[in-house]
Amino acid sequence: MEIRMNTSHTATVFDDDLETIQAMIMKMGGLVETAILDASQALETRDEELAERVRANDALIDQLEEQVNTEAARLIALRAPTASDLRTVLTVMKISANLERVGDYAKNIAKRSTVLAQMAPISGAGGALRRMAKAVEAMMKDALDAYTQRDAELAADVRQRDLDVDQMYNALFREFLTHMMEDPRNITACMHLHFIAKNLERMGDHATAVAEQVIYLVTGALPDEVRPKGDNTSFVHPDGDN
| pLDDT band (50, 70, 90) for residue 167 | very high
Distance CA 126, CA 145 (A): 28
Residue 150 · residue 218 · CB < 8 Å: yes
Distance CA 242, CA 238 (A): 9
Distance of CA 178 to the CA centre of its chain: 29
Q: What confidence score (pLDDT) does residue 6 get?
A: 44
| pLDDT band (50, 70, 90) for residue 3 | very low
pLDDT digits (tens, 9 = 90+) for 85-130: 889 999 999 999 999 999 999 999 999 999 999 999 999 999 999 9
Buried b (16+ CB within 10 A) or exposed e, 116-155: beeeeebeebbebbbebbebbbbbbbbbbebbeeebbebb
pLDDT digits (tens, 9 = 90+) for 187-226: 999 999 999 999 999 999 999 999 999 999 999 888 877 6
Q: What confidence score (pLDDT) does residue 66 get?
A: 97
| pLDDT band (50, 70, 90) for residue 10 | low
End-to-end CA distance of the chain: 62
Q: What confidence score (pLDDT) does residue 81 get?
A: 82
Name the residue ranges covered by the structural domains of the chain: 13-219
- Average pLDDT for residues 139-161, to the nearest whole number? 97
pTM comes to 0.88
CATH topology of domain 13-219: Methane Monooxygenase Hydroxylase; Chain G, domain 1 (1.20.58)
Distance CA 196, CA 239 (A): 12
Percent of the chain residues topping a pLDDT of 90: 77
Q: Is the predicted pLDDT of residue 234 greater than 90, yes or no?
A: no
Residue 72 · residue 28 · CB < 8 Å: no
